[in-house]
Structure 1
Amino acid sequence: MSAIEARLASLGITLPQPAAPAANYVPFVESRGMLYISGQIPVGPNGVDYVGKLGEEFGIEEGRAAARLCAINILAQARAALGDLDRVARIVKLTGFVNGTPAFTDQPKVVNGASDFMVEIFDEKGRHARSAVGVGGLPFGVAVEVEAIIEIA
């Protein structure tokens, strides 16, 4: 078991089977030492979770949980791409999209759910550049979607 898999297990996290693409794209692309992970939505053991808008159906804490679940799904895709999460040299950038009401302006607090998770798992290698963007809608009506750029060894 890799060191990262052991850290996940110690936290009680089992990575899911990565989701298949819902349209005409691939879940990840490896190019020139970088791994680009397509946007991941909060899919849990029972299917799509966190359907609704921040500022309406969900508050910041539920949004953070949705973003964390997106980050778990990013790691599932990374493991599928790399075979071993110990090949992750650095989380370079996360982009989080937050489906919120027009008045909702706490996108950074929501996307912290994904950012905090990456730092918890990868320590300093998990610190990354980031964008947190408010949007009027996301696939399947989910509250959050997160994509990643990862440097690989």
Structure 2
Amino acid sequence: MNTTQIRELLQKRKLKATTTRINLLSKMSNYGSAMSHSSIQKKMSPVDRVTLYRTIEALKEKGVIHKAYQDNNEIYYAICDIDCTKGHRCHEHIHFKCTVCETIHCEEVENTIEISLPNYKINKVSINVEGLCETCNKQQY
């Protein structure tokens, strides 16, 4: 995503295109997979923790990014599809973590996964899968 596309995305979500938001989304876009919170902090230095926290929360609230994965005490974030909005989230896909390179990718599946639990109301479905990514799998064989 280039700066113009980031500005358009923020405008569509009714968020101001602040320098911190633009820089964060640019870094996440260039990263190529979900980014851990600690990686975001390192790449966004010298932005203070409170500003970064508020930026991440605002972007999550407006459907610009989502929590893709949580491993131990580390949270990973990914940029949402352009069609995600506050009322219609598009995060019900598989989050794949490579056990070798530790990258996390959001993967779409062709078959929808439907879960029904009698007497329960399901608000969110999250599926995390671990294994070897395509690159690491090729290197092993």
TM-score normalised according to structure 1 size: 0.30
- Identify the structure with bigger relative contact order (alpha carbons < 8 Å, sequence gap 6+): 1
Name the larger-Rg structure: 2
